[in-house]
Amino acid sequence: MLLRDVKFEEKWLPGNAACPGCGLSLGLRLLTKAIEKPVVVIPASCASVVQGAWPKSSASFPLLNIAMAGAGAAASGIANAYEMLGKEGTVVAWAGDGGTADIGLQALSGAAERGENIIFVMYDNEAYMNTGIQRSSSTPHGAWTTTTPEGKREFKKDVAAIMLVHNLEYVATASVSYPVDFIEKLKKAEAHKGTKFIQLYSPCPPGWRLDASKTIEVGKLAVETGAWILYEYENGKLTISPISSRFREKKARRPLIDYLSLQGRFAGISQQDIAKLEAEIDRKWEFLSKFE
Amino acid sequence: MADVNEEVYVIPEIDTKGLEKEFPLSKPGFGAGGKTNEWRLLRPVINYEKCIKCLICWIDCPEATITRGKDNSVAINYDYCKGCGVCANECPTKAIEMVKED
Ligand SMILES: Cc1ncc(C[n+]2csc(CCOP(=O)(O)OP(=O)(O)O)c2C)c(N)n1
Ligand code: SF4
Ligand code: SF4
Ligand code: SF4
Ligand SMILES: [Mg+2]
């Protein structure tokens, strides 16, 4: 798909309440470019708030706001109801990293095991942003948050890998910095049966202490340094996406510091922690290669 | 120059069948988060002589405040643009300048 083939119409409307440069806002907009009839479930998160205030909504598509733990369960119910009523629509659970990797993992795993016909998108801004930048299990090692003032000690939980071993037909990673790739992956997901999972890298300028104009740039650097790997797992086979496959060889990658130095959340990071992050990147590439 | 293509915005009439009395239902509309143009400190201005209609600013705008015309010309919807500067940062020909609002 070429950029000019992406449709003109906008169903994520201007004047929403997201901060300037919000990755999640761009992600929702791209969702409406990929899926003709999205029916969206959103658990408590920034995605609940950015819709704006009653009686208006920036979402020009059906959307249900639900409790933080419940995206997988509510989306399952809606998908089944749509099927029984013969209604057309693609049910999408759109949850933050907190609402996916932490609270919400159980309902997602349950839906996946039952094979509910949903697309689950985890928009990953790597912390609990809506409540004031607390760490989540998806926050990377070394990152500052209000609850990790010295930088997080633990490593980022790999939710896409957890979904991979659920033996789904389709699991992918994507980034708002590569819109066409994300749109193509959503379309592929829609064509598969059962539960589909996409982990979407979504920069958050205030939470990452990032200039609002750098949202796309930081996501590209994440890929070019090898820190965020774009791939698809389709019918049991893992393929590194062409955008990322250029960075398979370590020497082809940009130095990690180029990625970290754009973001104030890594301002205080030590050399040891940078070395640990670099080792984690190598481990991740090695891990994924086992599924190819 | 190009005008904002208002036709791209999809806002259907929705019959809520009286359900709004039982549930807190919202209907789609512009400015659900307020007049977001008032947040803007810097204003993106397109130099159309430099623009090659590559559509990168259009696809990257988080707000849908760059509209795409039939001829792939792009125009900024200043009624809601928040001035984040993503479009200017990504434009490959540096055709977009961020200018201070007065
Ligand atoms: C059971 C429960 N615990 C806590 C909260 C408070 N809460 C609302 S949004 C949120 C953060 C969600 O983080 P995430 O899912 O990563 O989305 P983000 O805000 O980062 O977009 C929290 C903790 C809640 N609504 N429900
Ligand atoms: S805090 Fe971050 S994720 Fe939440 S609306 Fe603002 S930019 Fe978006
Ligand atoms: S990114 Fe620049 S060159 Fe491309 S369409 Fe926008 S203004 Fe024109
Ligand atoms: S400044 Fe930001 S909100 Fe305004 S048109 Fe550019 S990308 Fe869109
Ligand atoms: Mg989050």
Is 90 exceeded by the pLDDT of residue A192? yes
- Rounded to 10 deg, the angle between the A23-34 and A179-191 helix axes is 50
Is 80 exceeded by the pLDDT of residue B1? no
Residue B8 to residue B72: CA distance in whole angstroms: 12
Q: Is A50 in Cβ contact with B33 (below 8 Å)?
A: yes
Residue A284 to residue A124: CA distance in whole angstroms: 17
Q: Does the global pTM surpass 0.95?
A: yes
Q: Is A20 in Cβ contact with B83 (below 8 Å)?
A: yes
* Token reading at A119: 């697309």
Residue A117 to residue A75: CA distance in whole angstroms: 9
Q: Tokens 């708002």 identify what position?
A: A176
Taking only the tens place, the pLDDT of each residue in A202-217 is 999 999 999 999 999 9
Q: Which of A12, A16, A22 to mutate to test the pocket of ligand 2 (most atoms within 8 A of CB)?
A: A22
Q: Tokens 């090695």 identify what position?
A: A286
Residue B69 to residue A15: CA distance in whole angstroms: 20
Q: Using a CB-CB distance cutoff of 8 angstroms, which residues of chain B are in contact with residue A26? A: 60-62
Smallest CA–CA separation between A234 and chain B, in Å? 27
ipTM for the whole predicted complex goes beyond 0.90: yes
- The per-residue pLDDT for B26 is 95
Average pLDDT over chain B, rounded to an integer: 96
Residue A23 to residue A177: CA distance in whole angstroms: 9
Find out whether A254 and A225 touch, Cβ atoms under 8 Å.
Answer: yes
Q: B36-102 has which CATH code? A: 3.30.70.20
What are the residues facing A174 on neighbouring strands?
Answer: A200
Find out whether A238 and A288 touch, Cβ atoms under 8 Å.
Answer: yes
Where along chain B do its domains lie? 36-102
Q: What mean pLDDT do residues A3-25 have?
A: 98
Find out whether A104 and A162 touch, Cβ atoms under 8 Å.
Answer: no
Taking only the tens place, the pLDDT of each residue in A158-187 is 999 999 999 999 999 999 999 999 999 999
Q: Using a CB-CB distance cutoff of 8 angstroms, which residues of chain B are in contact with residue A16? A: 32-33, 36, 63
Q: Which of B47, B48, B56 to mutate to test the pocket of ligand 3 (most atoms within 8 A of CB)?
A: B56
Kindly state the helix (H) or strand (E) to which residue A173 belongs, with its residue range: strand A170-175
Give the rounded percent of residues in chain A with a pLDDT score beyond 90: 100
**What residues have CB less than 8 Å from A94, skipping those under 6 apart?**
A28, A31, A40, A41, A42, A47, A71, A121, A123
Radius of gyration of chain A (CA): 18
Taking only the tens place, the pLDDT of each residue in B20-61 is 889 889 999 999 999 999 999 999 999 999 999 999 999 999
- The per-residue pLDDT for B52 is 98
* CA B58 to ligand 3: nearest atom: 6
* Token reading at B73: 């010309």
Binned at pLDDT 50, 70 and 90, residue B97 comes out as very high
Three-class SS state of A234: strand
- The per-residue pLDDT for A116 is 98
Taking only the tens place, the pLDDT of each residue in A97-148 is 999 999 999 999 999 999 999 999 999 999 999 999 999 999 999 999 999 9
- The per-residue pLDDT for B16 is 87
Q: How far is the CA of A90 from the centre of ligand 2 (A)?
A: 25
- The per-residue pLDDT for A190 is 98
Average pLDDT over chain A, rounded to an integer: 98
- The per-residue pLDDT for A230 is 98
Question: A200 burial class (0-12, 13-18, 19+ CB within 10 angstroms)?
Answer: buried
Q: Using a CB-CB distance cutoff of 8 angstroms, which residues of chain A are in contact with residue B90? A: 216-217
Domains delineated in chain A: 20-289 (3.40.50.970)
Taking only the tens place, the pLDDT of each residue in A229-250 is 999 999 999 999 999 999 999 9
Q: What mean pLDDT do residues A3-17 have?
A: 98
